[in-house]
C-alpha cells in the first residue's frame, strides 16, 4: 500500500498539479493533506478546484493548517488587511478570492487526526504539531515533549517546509516538505510517499521541478505583486533558490522597525522596513 502525503501547497497550483500527476503515475489512490492549502500564490480557486476534484476521485484525509485559521478568523472577526502592504496584502488577495464553501470546508477540518488502515500502524496527521497547527516540530525544540503525549508511532507533520525525519523513543516524525514553497530544497516541489512494510511504514521523499516561469508570470499578471510587493518578491526568490523564508525576512523587517519606532506589530510593518530587509537578505 502506498499513500501520497502533501503539505504546504500555499496556492501553488502548478507545483501541486505536478506532484499529483506524479502520484497518479505511481497508482496511488490514497492521499493525506497536512494543511496550508493557500497563501502565497495567485488564483487560489485553481488550487481549490484541484483539491475538490481529488476529493471526489480518491480516498482523502485533510487536516487544517495555520493559514486556514487566517481565513476562518478573518471571516469571523474581520481583521484589517491592506492591499499594497507586504505584511497582509497577500492575505487580503487570497481571502478576496475565496468562496463561502471554501471557508466552510476549512472550518470543518481538525488540526490533527488519527488515520487507521487495517493491518498497519495508525498514523497521526497534523500540520504543525498535534497540539497547535502553528507549532514547529524540529529536532532541537520541544518535539520530544510533544511525542510523549502521542500514542501513535508515526506522526506526519508539515509547517517547516523542510523534508525531514525525526526519531525518538521508537516514534517517527515524518515531514514531507512543501509542495508550494520548499525551504532548503533547491526550489523544488516536495511531497512524500508512504510505503507499507509489513505492519510498519517506510517512506520516499519526492522532489520535482515544475514550470516556475509560469508561476512567476501568474504572480505578475494577477496583480498579486501590487497587493503584496515585497512578500511576493520573497516568494519568487524562494521558489527560484529554495532559500530565505518569509519568516526570516519578516523578523528582520520587524527588527528595523523596532529600532526606529520602538514598537512593531507583524501585521503593520511599514514598506520601507520590508524594502530594507529584502534588499539586505535577498541581495544577489
Residue 152: predicted pLDDT: 95
Q: What is the pLDDT of residues 113-168, one digit of tens each?
A: 999 999 999 999 999 999 999 999 998 878 888 898 899 999 999 999 999 999 99
End-to-end Cα spacing for the chain? 45
CB 180 within 8 A of CB 10: yes
Measured distance CA(92)–CA(100) in Å, rounded: 15
Residue 284: predicted pLDDT: 58
| Cα Rg of the chain (Å, integer) | 19
Instruction: Enter the C-alpha cell of residue 141.
Output: 525544540
Q: Summarize the confidence of residues 204-215 as an average pLDDT.
A: 98
The answer to whether residue 62 scores a pLDDT higher than 90 is yes
The answer to whether residue 253 scores a pLDDT higher than 80 is yes
Q: Which one, of 186, 188, 194, 192, lies nearest residue 207 by Cα?
A: 188
Q: Which residues of 37-75 are buried (b: 16+ CB within 10 A; e: fewer)?
A: bbbbbbbbbbbbebbeebeeeeebbbbbbbbbbbbbebe
Which residues fall within 8 angstroms of residue 67, CB to CB, at 6 or more apart? 10, 35, 36, 37, 38, 39
CB 127 within 8 A of CB 111: yes
Q: How are beta strands 171-176 and 163-168 bridged, if at all?
A: antiparallel
Q: How confident is the model at residue 261 (pLDDT cuts 50, 70, 90)?
A: very high
Measured distance CA(128)–CA(111) in Å, rounded: 9
The answer to whether residue 69 scores a pLDDT higher than 80 is yes
CATH class of residue range 2-208? alpha beta
Helices (H), 141-211: 143-148
3-state secondary structure of 247: helix
Residue 78: predicted pLDDT: 75
Q: How confident is the model at residue 79 (pLDDT cuts 50, 70, 90)?
A: confident
Q: What is the signed CA dihedral for 74, 75, 77, 81, rounded to 10 degrees? A: 40
CB 92 within 8 A of CB 51: no
42 vs 77, which has greater pLDDT?
42
CB hemisphere CA count around 156 (13 angstroms): 37
Residue 144: predicted pLDDT: 87
Helices (H), the chain: 13-25, 44-57, 66-77, 89-96, 100-107, 143-148, 212-222, 224-227, 229-241, 246-261, 271-281
Measured distance CA(106)–CA(103) in Å, rounded: 5
DSSP summary character for residue 159: S
145 vs 204, which has greater pLDDT?
204
Q: How confident is the model at residue 80 (pLDDT cuts 50, 70, 90)?
A: confident
CB 248 within 8 A of CB 105: no
Cα separation values, 152 from 34, 141, 176, Å: 17, 20, 18
CB 247 within 8 A of CB 235: no
Q: What is the pLDDT of residues 154-163, one digit of tens each?
A: 999 999 999 9
DSSP summary character for residue 198: T
Amino acid at each position: 500500500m502506498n499513500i501520497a502525503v502533501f503539505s504546504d501547497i500555499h496556492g501553488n497550483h502548478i507545483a501541486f498539479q505536478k506532484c499529483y500527476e506524479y502520484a497518479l503515475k505511481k497508482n496511488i489512490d490514497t492521499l493525506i493533506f497536512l494543511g496550508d492549502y493557500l497563501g502565497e500564490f495567485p488564483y487560489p480557486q485553481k488550487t481549490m478546484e484541484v483539491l475538490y476534484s481529488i476529493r471526489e476521485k480518491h480516498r482523502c484525509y485533510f487536516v487544517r493548517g495555520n493559514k486556514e485559521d487566517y481565513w476562518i478568523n478573518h471571516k469571523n472577526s474581520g481583521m484589517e488587511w491592506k492591499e499594497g502592504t507586504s505584511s497582509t496584502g497577500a492575505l487580503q488577495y487570497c481571502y478576496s478570492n475565496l468562496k463561502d464553501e471554501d471557508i466552510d470546508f476549512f472550518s470543518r477540518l481538525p488540526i490533527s487526526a488519527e488515520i487507521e488502515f487495517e493491518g498497519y500502524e495508525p498514523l497521526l496527521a497534523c500540520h504543525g504539531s498535534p497540539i497547535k497547527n502553528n507549532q514547529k516540530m524540529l529536532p532541537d525544540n520541544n518535539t520530544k515533549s510533544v511525542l510523549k503525549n502521542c500514542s501513535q508511532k508515526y506522526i506526519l507533520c508539515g509547517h517547516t517546509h523542510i523534508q525531514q525525519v525525526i526519531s525518538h523513543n521508537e516514534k517517527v516524525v515524518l515531514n514531507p516538505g512543501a509542495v508550494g514553497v520548499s525551504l532548503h530544497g533547491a526550489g523544488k516541489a516536495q511531497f512524500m510517499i508512504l510505503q507499507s512494510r509489513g505492519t510498519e511504514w517506510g517512506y520516499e521523499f519526492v522532489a520535482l521541478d515544475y514550470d516556475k516561469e509560469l508561476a512567476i508570470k501568474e504572480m505578475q499578471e494577477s496583480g498579486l505583486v501590487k497587493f503584496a510587493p515585497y512578500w511576493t518578491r520573497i516568494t519568487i526568490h524562494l521558489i527560484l533558490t529554495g532559500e530565505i523564508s518569509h519568516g526570516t525576512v519578516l523578523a528582520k523587517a520587524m527588527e528595523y522597525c523596532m529600532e526606529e519606532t520602538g514598537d512593531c506589530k507583524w501585521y503593520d510593518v511599514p514598506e520601507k522596513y520590508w524594502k530594507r530587509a529584502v534588499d539586505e537578505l535577498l541581495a544577489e
